[in-house]
Amino acid sequence: EVQLVETGGGLIQPGGSLRLSCAASGLSVSSNYMTWVRQAPGRGLEWVSLIYGGITTNYADSVRGRFTVSIDISNNTFYLQMNNLRVDDTAVYYCTREMAARRLDPWGPGTLVTVSS
């Protein structure tokens, strides 16, 4: 069974840094398009970033230059390093995979990041 699980969320002050992890089972993070999507409280879904092969990356304008996505092949995990966090980065962060026909499946249960002083 393919499964994704996020960890690393929590409360952080504005300007701080946090690293989210997404542990994968049943798929290889190095050969899939691994994706982060977030959802602010009471709001819709926002695509954040994607990494493929550990090299190809893409970011939403709202996070480019502050967030960095990476993978660890040995742990079959991919990460979202979030720097210079802002209050409007507060959201549940989901990891998912963009698979054949560019569909997002499966999804992890999400991890909550709260940016507040």
Partner 1 sequence: DIQMTQSPSSVSASVGDRVTITCRASQGVNTWVAWYQQKPGKAPKLLIYAAYSLQNGVPSRFSGRGSGTDFTLTINNLQPEDFATYYCQQAHSFPRTFGPGTKVHIK
Binding site residues, partner 1, CB under 8 A: 35, 37, 44-47, 50, 58-61, 94, 98, 101-105, 107-110
14 versus 26: smaller Cβ distance to partner 1: 26
Instruction: Kindly tell me which of 100 and 117 has the beta carbon lying closer to partner 1.
Output: 100
CB of 47 to partner 1, least distance (A): 4
Residue 117 beta carbon to partner 1: minimum distance, rounded to whole angstroms:
26
Shortest separation between residue 110's beta carbon and partner 1, angstroms: 6
Tokens of 82: 């979030």
* Residue found by looking up tokens 């054949």 in the block: 100
Q: For residues 65 and 103, which CB has a smaller minimum distance to partner 1 in the complex?
A: 103
**Closer residue to partner 1 (CB): 15 or 26:** 26
DSSP string, the chain: --EEEEE--EEE-TT--EEEEEEEESS-GGGSEEEEEEE-TTS-EEEEEEEETTTEEEE-TTTBTTEEEEEEGGGTEEEEEE-S--GGG-EEEEEEEEEGGGEEEEE---EEEEE--
Least separation in angstroms between CB 45 and partner 1: 4
